[in-house]
Protein backbone atom coordinates (compact mmCIF):
# COMPACT_ATOMS: atom_id res chain seq x y z
CA UNK A 1 0.00 0.00 0.00
CA UNK A 2 1.27 3.49 -0.81
CA UNK A 3 0.68 5.80 2.12
CA UNK A 4 -0.60 9.32 1.64
CA UNK A 5 2.28 11.71 2.03
CA UNK A 6 1.56 14.25 4.77
CA UNK A 7 2.04 17.81 3.54
CA UNK A 8 4.85 19.89 5.00
CA UNK A 9 3.36 21.89 7.85
CA UNK A 10 1.02 19.12 9.02
CA UNK A 11 0.81 19.09 12.82
CA UNK A 12 0.82 16.08 15.12
CA UNK A 13 -2.45 16.22 17.08
CA UNK A 14 -2.57 12.79 18.77
CA UNK A 15 -0.03 10.07 19.71
CA UNK A 16 -0.67 6.45 20.70
CA UNK A 17 1.98 3.87 21.49
CA UNK A 18 1.57 0.27 20.36
CA UNK A 19 3.24 -2.59 22.20
CA UNK A 20 3.59 -6.09 20.75
CA UNK A 21 5.26 -8.23 23.42
CA UNK A 22 5.61 -11.55 21.56
CA UNK A 23 3.75 -13.98 19.35
CA UNK A 24 1.65 -15.23 22.27
CA UNK A 25 0.25 -11.87 23.34
CA UNK A 26 -1.54 -9.50 21.05
CA UNK A 27 -0.67 -5.86 20.49
CA UNK A 28 -2.16 -3.22 22.75
CA UNK A 29 -2.45 0.56 22.39
CA UNK A 30 -1.40 2.93 25.18
CA UNK A 31 -1.38 6.68 25.76
CA UNK A 32 2.20 6.75 27.06
CA UNK A 33 5.45 5.11 26.03
CA UNK A 34 6.08 3.99 29.63
CA UNK A 35 2.82 2.02 29.71
CA UNK A 36 3.59 0.45 26.33
CA UNK A 37 7.02 -0.68 27.55
CA UNK A 38 5.46 -2.37 30.60
CA UNK A 39 3.14 -4.49 28.40
CA UNK A 40 4.81 -7.88 28.40
CA UNK A 41 8.41 -8.98 28.09
CA UNK A 42 10.65 -7.24 25.53
CA UNK A 43 7.87 -5.65 23.47
CA UNK A 44 8.32 -4.13 20.03
CA UNK A 45 7.17 -0.52 20.32
CA UNK A 46 5.57 1.38 17.46
CA UNK A 47 3.57 4.58 17.24
CA UNK A 48 0.29 5.72 15.72
CA UNK A 49 -0.12 9.44 15.12
CA UNK A 50 -2.91 11.66 13.89
CA UNK A 51 -1.72 14.56 11.75
CA UNK A 52 -3.82 17.62 10.97
CA UNK A 53 -2.92 18.95 7.53
CA UNK A 54 -2.75 22.66 6.62
CA UNK A 55 -6.13 22.26 4.84
CA UNK A 56 -7.63 20.77 8.06
CA UNK A 57 -7.79 17.09 7.05
CA UNK A 58 -6.68 14.30 9.38
CA UNK A 59 -4.16 11.64 8.35
CA UNK A 60 -3.42 8.61 10.54
CA UNK A 61 0.09 7.21 10.20
CA UNK A 62 1.73 4.23 11.90
CA UNK A 63 5.38 3.29 12.18
CA UNK A 64 8.50 3.30 14.26
CA UNK A 65 10.50 5.96 16.05
CA UNK A 66 14.19 4.97 16.44
CA UNK A 67 14.51 6.61 19.87
CA UNK A 68 11.53 4.61 21.23
CA UNK A 69 12.77 1.12 20.28
CA UNK A 70 16.13 -0.12 19.01
CA UNK A 71 14.27 -2.48 16.66
CA UNK A 72 13.89 0.46 14.23
CA UNK A 73 16.84 1.37 12.04
CA UNK A 74 18.80 4.50 12.89
CA UNK A 75 18.34 7.66 10.88
CA UNK A 76 20.75 10.56 10.46
CA UNK A 77 17.71 12.84 10.77
CA UNK A 78 16.77 11.47 14.21
CA UNK A 79 18.12 13.35 17.24
CA UNK A 80 19.12 11.06 20.11
CA UNK A 81 16.36 10.46 22.63
CA UNK A 82 13.78 12.69 20.95
CA UNK A 83 10.20 11.38 20.95
CA UNK A 84 6.96 12.60 19.34
CA UNK A 85 5.15 15.43 21.09
CA UNK A 86 1.71 16.82 20.29
CA UNK A 87 2.27 20.02 18.31
CA UNK A 88 5.23 18.68 16.31
CA UNK A 89 5.22 19.74 12.67
CA UNK A 90 6.19 17.86 9.53
CA UNK A 91 9.32 19.51 8.09
CA UNK A 92 10.44 16.90 5.54
CA UNK A 93 9.07 13.79 3.81
CA UNK A 94 11.78 11.50 2.43
CA UNK A 95 10.46 9.34 -0.44
CA UNK A 96 11.70 5.88 -1.35
CA UNK A 97 11.50 5.72 -5.13
CA UNK A 98 7.92 5.46 -6.35
CA UNK A 99 6.82 2.94 -3.73
CA UNK A 100 6.17 5.11 -0.71
CA UNK A 101 7.77 7.06 2.10
CA UNK A 102 11.08 6.21 3.76
CA UNK A 103 10.88 8.73 6.61
CA UNK A 104 8.74 11.58 7.89
CA UNK A 105 10.81 14.17 9.76
CA UNK A 106 9.13 16.25 12.49
CA UNK A 107 10.19 19.25 14.56
CA UNK A 108 8.82 19.30 18.11
CA UNK A 109 7.67 22.61 19.65
CA UNK A 110 11.01 22.83 21.53
CA UNK A 111 12.95 22.63 18.22
CA UNK A 112 14.13 19.02 18.59
CA UNK A 113 13.67 16.60 15.67
CA UNK A 114 12.44 13.04 15.41
CA UNK A 115 11.79 10.63 12.57
CA UNK A 116 8.81 8.38 11.96
CA UNK A 117 9.51 5.34 9.77
CA UNK A 118 6.09 4.51 8.27
CA UNK A 119 4.78 0.97 8.19
CA UNK A 120 1.35 1.60 6.65
> Regarding predicted confidence, which is higher, 100 or 84?
84
Pairing outcome for strands 28-30 and 44-52: unpaired
Distance, in Å, from the CA atom of 56 to the CA atom of 51, rounded to the nearest integer, reads 9
- For residue 111, CA distances in Å to 19, 63, 80, 85 come to 27, 22, 13, 11
Q: What is the pLDDT of residues 73-86, one digit of tens each?
A: 888 899 999 999 99
Mean pLDDT rounded to a whole number for the chain: 89
Q: Span 56-75, mean pLDDT?
A: 90
Q: Is the pLDDT of residue 41 over 80?
A: no
Q: What confidence score (pLDDT) does residue 1 get? A: 37
Q: Span 21-44, mean pLDDT?
A: 86
Task: Report the percent of the chain where pLDDT is more than 90.
Answer: 62
Distance, in Å, from the CA atom of 26 to the CA atom of 83, rounded to the nearest integer, reads 24
- State the pTM of this model: 0.88
Instruction: Give burial (CB, 10 Å; 0-12/13-18/19+) of 61.
Output: buried
Residue 33 pLDDT grade (very low, low, confident, very high; cuts 50, 70, 90): very high
State CA 64 to chain mean position distance.
5
Q: What is the pLDDT of residues 1-12, one digit of tens each?
A: 345 789 999 999
Amino acid sequence: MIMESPPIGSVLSRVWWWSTPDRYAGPARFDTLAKARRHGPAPVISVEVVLTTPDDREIVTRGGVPSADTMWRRSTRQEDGVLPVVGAGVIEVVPTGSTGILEIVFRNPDGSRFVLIPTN
